[in-house]
Structure 1
Amino acid sequence: METRSQVLWNPLLSDEHQDALKPEAHAVSYPTGTKLMKADEHSDYVIYLRSGLVMSCRWEQQPDGQERRTIFGLHGPGTLIGELAPLTGEPRSADLVSLRPVEVLHIPGDVFLRFLLSNPRVHLEVTRRLAKRVRELGEVQEESFLSSERRLARALLRIVESGIGVEGEQGLVIAGFTQNDLADLARLSRESVSAVMQQFKARSYIATGRARFTICDTAAIEALAMRRDRSLI
């Protein structure tokens, strides 16, 4: 029987924190495909993801006139999203779209800032996660110089870190994430993703199935992505 990896389940807010916020925050459920935030909009609320999966992305104009989606991040349960807006007062930098049905806690910006001031441990963890996200955005720019294998390996690791997988007999099972999504996350063509996935499958790094794939050898994927050298980047 598949169970969620306990290593990956690391919610930012405890049940007690959420209860303390509920008088002024609101729990809302949304179906798959809902746009929870829009790029360039002016708003200061923060979203705490209680269940489900969302992605932050932006559509960009290409030289040939076509638009292409770039996925900047994946966010699983226990994640706080949109926290820069109340801190900076600047418009949203990306769309936030649900990839699965989600349950979220909408937290007004002023309530969120007061909460941080009264909870230094959470404040520190928010700062750490923001720093990690900034580093990952920098890596998105670097990846145009990397091989297709390394770019896809890094994309797979982002999926692992999002906490959306469940442990199966062969490894970490990822459902509901298409090769198009992988291509947008790795900034590769779908054809390139398909070719590299076949290579990874031949090396037993991954296994594929109907509407899902399994990461069988996370250590090999991590080594390929050179994650051990990440502190030097």
Structure 2
Amino acid sequence: MEDRAQGLWNPLLSAEDQDALKPEAHAVSYPKGATLMKINEHSDYVVYLRSGHVKSCTPGTIFGIHGPGSMIGELAPLTGEPRAADLVALTPIEVLHIPGDVFLKLLESNPQIHLALTRRLAKRVRELGEAQEESFLTSERRLARAILRIMDSGIGTESEDGLVIAGFTQSDLADLARISRESVSAVMQQFKARKTISTGRVKFTVRDTTAIEALAMRRDRSLI
């Protein structure tokens, strides 16, 4: 788990890069539950997540979970189109608000940041394709993939029992996995019986990371 987290937490902007954006860019703190962007909103600023975690979502669907070092909302200044999703803080966060024109100048002047951002966008496109493939997977594997995405975001806390993930209800898991809440409940019971996961109040603990990873990466051939 530590190796995965280290790979995902490579920040897009160094401290020097962030300092160079001042005074045009401003650091802002938000509490858990705050909405930073709203779907169909016409704005072109970009958010750089300095600490904490956020989710991009629409009612009934969670598209992604973003951790420290992520640039979010970058399509708006690139395309001029309205926001495609809400952006909501899962934890207390600190962000850097970057005006759209400043963001575009940053890409023009820094090829390394441009390339890194392009790679992250390519990863998102791939994830969208994988989300469409999930219609061919069982509820069990779709939930395992959703849990793996949460694990990969770095939001969990290591404990003696495993990786503790707090703040996610069964409805949240259903939105992320794109299955019903009833299916989440049934699959979680299976995971608990296998001692893969244990549950608590608005939290769960991944006790067998390898089992979740293996299940998330397999396809259900009988449904293809």
Aligned to 2:39: 39
Distance in 2 (CA, whole Å) between partners of 1:94 and 1:196 is: 28
AA matched with 1:150: R
SS, match of residue 149 in structure 1: helix
* Distance change >3 Å, CA 227–CA 56, structure 1 → 2: farther
Distance in 1 (CA, whole Å) between partners of 2:209 and 2:45 is: 36
AA matched with 2:27: A
Q: How many residues align?
A: 216
SS, match of residue 96 in structure 2: strand
1:99 aligns with 2:83: no
SS, match of residue 132 in structure 1: helix
* Distance change >3 Å, CA 104–CA 227, structure 1 → 2: farther
Distance in 2 (CA, whole Å) between partners of 1:34 and 1:185 is: 19
Counterpart mapping for 1:1-233 below 5 A: 6-59=6-59, 69-226=60-217
Distance in 1 (CA, whole Å) between partners of 2:164 and 2:193 is: 18
* Distance change >3 Å, CA 227–CA 16, structure 1 → 2: farther
AA matched with 2:104: L
Identical positions, percent: 78
Unaligned regions of 5+ residues in structure 1, if any? 60-68, 229-233
AA matched with 2:116: E
SS, match of residue 222 in structure 1: helix
Distance in 2 (CA, whole Å) between partners of 1:37 and 1:8 is: 23
Distance in 2 (CA, whole Å) between partners of 1:166 and 1:27 is: 26
Residue deviations 1:148-197, cap 9 Å, x none? Answer: 01110110111012111122222222111221111110111111111111
C-alpha displacement of 1:40: 1.4
Q: What is the TM-score when the length of structure 1 is the normalising length?
A: 0.86
RMSD across aligned positions (CA): 1.9
Alignment check: 8 A CA contact 2:141 2:218 kept: no
C-alpha displacement of 1:8: 4.5
C-alpha displacement of 1:227: 6.3
Residue deviations 1:12-51, cap 9 Å, x none? Answer: 2211111111211011111222211111122111001111
Distance in 2 (CA, whole Å) between partners of 1:149 and 1:87 is: 37
Residue deviations 1:76-114, cap 9 Å, x none? Answer: 111110011111111111111112221111001111111
AA matched with 1:12: L
AA matched with 1:151: R
Distance in 1 (CA, whole Å) between partners of 2:37 and 2:207 is: 34
